[in-house]
């Protein structure tokens, strides 16, 4: 094979593996997923058509400078910053599976750059719509549209380089936690600025974003046919620098070993003793095999970077992202959101933990799940152990949220802590009931070392949008009872009834999940043993 024939073969193999995977799902679920994707990207395509119509009209030429300068800056931020803050890597190459093929490395980098468009398809559509409109506008030089092409290439190269750099940083144990905190602070920065206002130094920095030496400003000048050679030189230099940065980071990632970077040095037995005692509580509390399974589950989740990331976000990102809404100008300290802030953040953290501890319980086990079918342990005990481990981490999450709120001198009292624990516990039981069913009906293998990838099934995640309001009805009834009777006793009475109902639902769901685990054994093991292709999402 010559040229990009190898790359085309890789993409074709990935397309065939993806196509062969979907017929195993129900046709209704596939149609639901396609309808959701069509609705989302269709709305962006409509926006791109509107941008094309706007820029195609010569009567709107007076608005073009302001629209292009601001729009291209937003496109840059959406392309580079938003995926990083949302911990989303899009579609990318799995280099460990491609290095064995006789494909030149520069072709692998070119294919990686093309796949970088998947991280921001929305902004690609908008930029393409603006380019089409400018091409149809007789008052804009056609040759100047090359600036938008260079701007897209600049973002693709930079996105490829940033992805490889962050992937290596997040693979290192101590650097990973620091990076996560920085990402959390970056995601919460807009909310904090909305609450406190923009500081003067940051305001001066924002004003410098409109200087003609920035890539978005230079692209706007080139696209409008003005700025001369200087704007072209600035844009070409930015694109060349991004290309060099992307190639450099891609080359470093080719020889990078994630497992070696993430491995921890062996600690002395004396230093491990307190941690061993802390993690060994299930075996002291429960008899085997339940105690051993709960301890195994806790230890494996603690070692999974994906789980640690979500757990950390619960009591850091969850607190910061809702802080301006609860205590800012929108609602105010006297609002219901501020009064129930601890409970609200605890529930939000529980929803985050649902993906990694409830809805796909066997995802981290992957092919090792077959051991549960051959060991002389009832499958009901396995599910109960995973549920107890998930409940333990939910309890630890709420405790961490309460401790952080106390350290920040936020309103924390015994009654609010009791309310947070009670509401979260009831909702957790409902979520575990749903998770037992989803884990046996929608299993999916998940690499626990990949902090950047979601472990959920697309169609089931869409179903959760309908399930969450239903699961929240008992909680809402408890709050309505407290509002109607003005009594905490009424609140806990209704919440107690909701807890009993949750226990009944959990028991029924457990029986159904155990039955499904036996009937769907081959399909579950096949789904969990399925490896990823050379192009991963």
Residue by residue, what is the 3-state secondary structure of 6-39?
HHHHHHHHHHHHHHHHHHHCCHHHHHHHHHHHHH
Does the structure show a pLDDT above 90 at 16? no
Residues 178 and 275 in one domain: no
- At what angle are helices 379-407 and 317-327 packed, to 10 degrees? 50
**Domain contains 297:** yes
Residues 157 and 234 in one domain: yes
**Domain contains 33:** no
Domain count, the chain: 2
Does the structure show a pLDDT above 90 at 503? yes
Q: Which residue has the tokens 């994707």?
A: 37
Distance CA 262, CA 308 (A): 13
Helix (H, G, I), strand (E, B) or coil at 456: coil
Alpha-helix runs per DSSP H in 408-528 = 414-441, 458-471, 473-485, 488-519, 521-528
Does the structure show a pLDDT above 80 at 186? no
Distance CA 95, CA 285 (A): 44
**Domain contains 23:** no
Q: With helix as H, strand as E and coil as C, how does 93-127 read?
A: ECHHHHCCCCCCHHHHHHHHHHHHHHHHHHHHHHH
**Which DSSP state fits 369?**
G
Residues 242 and 332 in one domain: no
**Domain contains 172:** yes
Banded pLDDT at 504 (limits 50, 70, 90) = very high
Q: Are 453 and 537 in contact (CB under 8 A)?
A: yes
Residues 333 and 434 in one domain: yes
**Domain contains 14:** no
The dihedral built from the CA positions of residue 501, 524, 457 and 316, taken in this order, carries a sign that is positive
Residues 291 and 209 in one domain: no
Residue predicted with more confidence, 280 or 407: 407
Domain end (from 262, 279, 300): 262
Q: Are 171 and 262 in contact (CB under 8 A)?
A: yes
Amino acid 86: pLDDT:
54
ω into residue 57 within 30 of 0, thus cis? no
Does the structure show a pLDDT above 80 at 339? no
Helix (H, G, I), strand (E, B) or coil at 92: strand
Q: Which residue has the tokens 């001066």?
A: 204
Q: Are 495 and 422 in contact (CB under 8 A)?
A: yes
State the DSSP H helix or E strand holding residue 311, giving kind and residue range, or none if neither.
helix 305-315
Q: Whole-model pTM? A: 0.67
**CA–CA distance from 101 to each of 6, 105, 107 (Å)?**
9, 10, 12
**Domain contains 101:** yes
Residues 149 and 294 in one domain: no
Banded pLDDT at 15 (limits 50, 70, 90) = low
pLDDT average, residue stretch 312-319: 78
Residues 250 and 293 in one domain: no
Closest CA to 137 of 215, 205, 51, 195: 51
Domain end (from 262, 297, 324): 262
Domain end (from 242, 262, 282): 262
Q: Are 69 and 211 in contact (CB under 8 A)?
A: no
**Domain contains 29:** no
Amino acid 154: pLDDT:
93
Distance CA 328, CA 321 (A): 12
Distance CA 388, CA 121 (A): 40
Amino acid 523: pLDDT:
87
Residues 248 and 288 in one domain: no
Amino acid 70: pLDDT:
85
Residue predicted with more confidence, 85 or 465: 465
Residues 286 and 172 in one domain: no
Residues 172 and 276 in one domain: no
Amino acid 334: pLDDT:
57
Residues 276 and 222 in one domain: no
Does the structure show a pLDDT above 80 at 450? no
Q: How many CB atoms lie within 10 A of CB 16?
A: 11
Lowest mean per-residue pLDDT among 109-123, 201-215, 237-251 = 201-215
Amino acid 387: pLDDT:
93
Residues 258 and 300 in one domain: no
Highest average pLDDT, of 14-18, 88-92, 272-276, 372-376, comes from: 372-376
Highest average pLDDT, of 367-381, 469-483, 495-509, comes from: 495-509
Q: Average per-residue pLDDT in the chain?
A: 78
Task: Provide the domain limits for residue 351.
Answer: 271-536
**Domain contains 286:** yes
Instruction: Please write the tens of the pLDDT for every residue from 25-45.
Output: 456 656 766 777 788 888 989
């Amino acid at each position: 094979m010559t040229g990009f024939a190898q790359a085309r073969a890789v993409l074709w193999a990935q397309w065939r593996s993806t196509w062969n995977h979907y017929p195993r799902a129900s046709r209704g679920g596939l149609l639901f997923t396609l309808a959701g994707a069509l609705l989302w990207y269709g709305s962006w395509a409509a926006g791109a058509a509107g941008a094309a119509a706007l820029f195609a009209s010569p009567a709107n030429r007076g608005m073009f400078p302001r629209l292009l300068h601001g729009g291209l800056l937003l496109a840059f931020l959406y392309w580079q910053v938003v995926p990083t803050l949302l911990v989303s890597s899009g579609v990318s190459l799995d280099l460990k599976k491609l290095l064995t093929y006789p494909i030149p490395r520069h072709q692998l980098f070119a294919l990686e750059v093309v796949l970088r468009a998947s991280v921001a398809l929305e902004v690609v559509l908008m930029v393409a719509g603006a380019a089409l409109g400018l091409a149809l506008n007789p008052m804009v030089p056609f040759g100047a549209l090359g600036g938008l092409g260079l701007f897209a290439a600049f973002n693709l190269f930079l996105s490829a380089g940033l992805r490889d750099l962050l992937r290596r940083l997040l693979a290192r144990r101590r650097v990973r936690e620091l990076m996560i905190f920085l990402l959390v602070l970056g995601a919460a920065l807009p909310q904090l600025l909305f609450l406190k206002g923009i500081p003067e130094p940051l305001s001066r920095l924002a004003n410098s974003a409109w200087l003609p030496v920035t890539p978005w400003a230079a692209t706007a000048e080139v696209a409008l046919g003005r700025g001369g050679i200087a704007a072209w030189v600035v844009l070409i230099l930015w694109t060349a620098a991004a290309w060099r940065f992307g190639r450099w980071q891609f080359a470093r990632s080719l020889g990078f070993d994630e497992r070696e970077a993430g491995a921890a040095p062996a600690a002395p037995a004396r230093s491990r003793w307190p941690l061993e005692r802390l993690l060994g509580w299930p075996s002291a509390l429960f008899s085997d095999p339940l105690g051993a399974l709960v301890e195994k589950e806790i230890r494996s989740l603690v070692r999974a970077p994906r789980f640690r990331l979500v757990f950390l976000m619960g009591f850091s990102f969850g607190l910061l992202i809702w802080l301006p809404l609860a205590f800012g100008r929108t609602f105010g300290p006297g609002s219901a959101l501020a009064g129930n802030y601890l409970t609200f953040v605890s529930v939000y953290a529980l929803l985050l933990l649902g993906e990694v501890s409830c809805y796909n319980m066997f995802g981290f086990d992957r092919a090792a799940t077959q051991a549960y079918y051959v060991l002389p342990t009832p499958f009901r005990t396995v599910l109960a152990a995973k549920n107890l481990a998930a409940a333990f981490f939910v309890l630890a999450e709420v405790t961490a949220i309460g401790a952080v709120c106390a350290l920040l001198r936020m309103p924390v009292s015994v009654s609010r802590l009791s309310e947070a624990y009670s509401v979260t516990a009831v909702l957790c039981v409902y979520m575990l009931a749903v998770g037992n069913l989803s884990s046996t009906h929608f299993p999916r293998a998940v690499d626990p070392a990949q902090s950047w990838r979601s472990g959920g099934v697309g169609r089931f995640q869409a179903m959760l949008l309908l399930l969450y309001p239903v699961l929240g009805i008992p909680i809402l009834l408890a709050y309505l009872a407290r509002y109607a009777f003005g009594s905490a006793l009424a609140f806990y009475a209704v919440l107690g009834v909701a807890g009993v109902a949750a226990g009944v639902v959990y028991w029924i769901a457990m029986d159904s999940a155990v039955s499904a685990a036996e009937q769907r054994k081959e399909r579950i093991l096949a789904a969990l043993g399925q490896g990823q292709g050379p192009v991963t999402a």
